[in-house]
Amino acid sequence: MFRNLKRNLAIAILSVAVGGVAIPAIVSAQSSTVQGTTTVAQKHEGGAFKQLNLTDAQKQQLKTIHENAKQQVEGVLTDDQRAKLADAIQSGNKKGAMRSLNLTADQKQKIRDINKSVKEQSLAVLTPEQRNQLQQMRAAHSDK
């Protein structure tokens, strides 16, 4: 039972971390794709964020929210953890990156709180129509 709890917690933390990465992907999915790579939004939502038709102002707001969140998360991590995370991401091991950090319970909670705030702030940037559209896309994606 503890094993499943630990596994689920690791998955939740990774999901939250990936969620923090998704904000710039929302922005970049509409502006441009880096040569030879796809954005997180394109991978996980099939580029669905393009359908939201974000304004330039919304893109900038989301970018600012993400940058602030990234700084906050980095502030929660130790120097060693930041180095390990950077190495894991650079090597392409994004899924195992957060698991390898051996986060304390306090760090996990702080990161969850940061990501909850990012989600709330990001949704606040969207119009009611865009929020409804996003909710419909997520529902359709989870039905697969």
Tell me the per-residue pLDDT of 126-135, one tens digit each, with 9 for 90 and over: 999 999 998 9
Enter the pTM of the model.
Answer: 0.63
Give the burial string for 11-37 (b: 16+ CB within 10 Å, else e): eebbebbbbbbbbbbbbbbbeeeeeee
What is the predicted pLDDT for the residue at 1? Answer: 47
Give residue limits of the domains in the chain.
Answer: 2-142
At 107-142, the pLDDT tens digits run: 999 999 999 999 999 999 999 999 999 898 888 888
Under a CB-based contact definition with an 8 Å cutoff, are residues 62 and 23 in contact? yes
